[in-house]
Amino acid sequence: MNSAIAFRNILFKDMKNYYLKPPNISWGLIFPFAWMGMLLIKSGSAFSISEVFPGIVALSILFGTTSMLSVTITFERKSRSFERLLLAPLKTELLILGKITGAILFGIFNSIIPVFLCACILKAPVNNWFLLAAGIMLLSITSTLLGLFISVAATEVFEAQTYSNFFRFPMIFLCGLFIPVTSLPLLLKPLSFILPVTYGVDILHYSISESNFLPPVIDLIILSVFSIVLFYFSIYNIRRKWIK
């Protein structure tokens, strides 16, 4: 089987069957803006869009990618369609790349609308468009691989959603989305540094308002390392648990 054709077919099938459905698109968009509205109501006053811009983009990516990938793979595993893919003459790495590419593109697509609204409509300043794009791409990759890591551990769709929330909701408060990492209590800061989303959000903060706490190069390296580790650890678990 031609590897390029197999990769394309897996990607297009997932995009058609899962990612391009209106409810899935809205899930990655409604929640971040609902969260911004909650902040506005809670504070009782207007806030700088630059302060919430990185958090809205990161939430759109995080919830869009982890929700879809964890549910997609768990559902296909339960229906045994994923097992049929494992029987194909494909390397496991290529198969998983085909599955995660759709989620990565979905995460990038989800980020376009908040970026357009914040930067073009609300006129939030962007100091470095290149790093903003790099941060969105790497955050989409890392969040997708986090969803893959979760899906490998789950056997039911509701388990995948529960495990996803176990990781995602603490990230809202620990990863600098709306509360700066430097403002967290001393006991919570170490937790922030072991979560990959922290470094993606830090890049977004730098690209928008230069309010980062680490050099962007360090953030990019750490995110790349997280992506490689999550990918191969998930491959290892798939071969150990799913391939007999």
**Rg, Å, the chain Cα set:** 18
Which parts of the chain sit beneath pLDDT 50?
44
Q: Tell which residue, 178, 180, 65, 52, has the closest CA to residue 119.
A: 52
pTM of the model as a whole: 0.85
pLDDT at 21: 62
Region of 214 please: left (phi>0), alpha (psi -120 to 50) or beta. Answer: beta
* pLDDT value of position 183: 84
pLDDT, position 87: 66
pLDDT value of residue 153: 74
Contact partners, residue 129, CB within 8 Å, separation at least 6: 207
Q: Which residues contact 161 (CB under 8 A, 6 or more apart)?
A: 67, 70, 71
- Give the pLDDT score at 137: 92
pLDDT at 155: 72
